[in-house]
């Protein structure tokens, strides 16, 4: 059976991360999800159940519920897809000790997503979290 992993990833980003819709998470994410490398992410190095991944999404989206990832480029390597992206959100909740500012914050990054049997089972990511820190520091 062949899978269109690029299309799955596009739908996953839009449905799960941009809209926060977890109702069909099993369509996108495998039974377990390994965060192989994601410095600054509290889940870095952990393997999550699907339910644990759902909690990660809820916690991550809470301070910026209108967040939106936009794919810049996608490189399809079959069971590994690399995506460069930009992220934009309104700072409405506490982030790392920074009180909500109501301002728009932005960052960019690159993520390699790993697939098994057409489901995302992990990622390796670099994100420009320093720019978020700078934007939040300038808001205070």
pLDDT at 3: 85
The Cα 56–Cα 50 span in angstroms is 10
For each successive 10 residues of the chain (140 residues), what is the average pLDDT?
Answer: 88 98 98 97 97 98 98 96 98 95 97 98 97 86
Residue 103 maps to which CATH number?
Answer: 3.10.450.50
The Cα 60–Cα 54 span in angstroms is 10
Q: What range defines the domain where residue 56 resides?
A: 5-139
Transcribe the chain into DSSP letters: ----HHHHHHHHIIIIIIT---TTGGGTEEEEEEEEE-TT-TTTT-EEEHHHHHHHHHHHHTT-TT-EEEEEEEEE-SSEEEEEEEEEEE--S-BTTBPP---EEEEEEEEEEEEETTEEEEEEEEE-HHHHHHHHHHH-
Q: Which two tokens stand for residue 53?
A: 């991944």
Task: Count structural domains, the chain.
Answer: 1
pLDDT at 61: 98
Q: Which two tokens stand for residue 34?
A: 């390994």
The Cα 45–Cα 76 span in angstroms is 24
């Amino acid at each position: 059976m062949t899978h269109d992993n690029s299309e799955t990833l596009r739908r996953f980003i839009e449905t799960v991360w941009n809209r926060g819709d977890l109702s069909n998470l099993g369509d996108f994410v495998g039974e377990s999800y390994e965060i192989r490398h994601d410095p600054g992410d509290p889940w870095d190095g952990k393997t999550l159940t699907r339910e644990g991944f759902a909690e990660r999404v809820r916690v991550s989206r809470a301070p910026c519920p209108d967040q939106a990832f936009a794919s810049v480029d996608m490189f399809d390597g079959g069971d590994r897809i690399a995506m460069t992206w930009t992220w934009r959100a309104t700072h409405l909740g506490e982030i790392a000790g920074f009180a909500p500012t109501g301002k728009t914050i932005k960052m960019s990054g690159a993520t390699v997503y790993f697939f098994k049997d057409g489901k995302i089972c992990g990622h390796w990511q670099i994100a420009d979290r320093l720019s978020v820190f700078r934007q939040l520091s300038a808001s205070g």
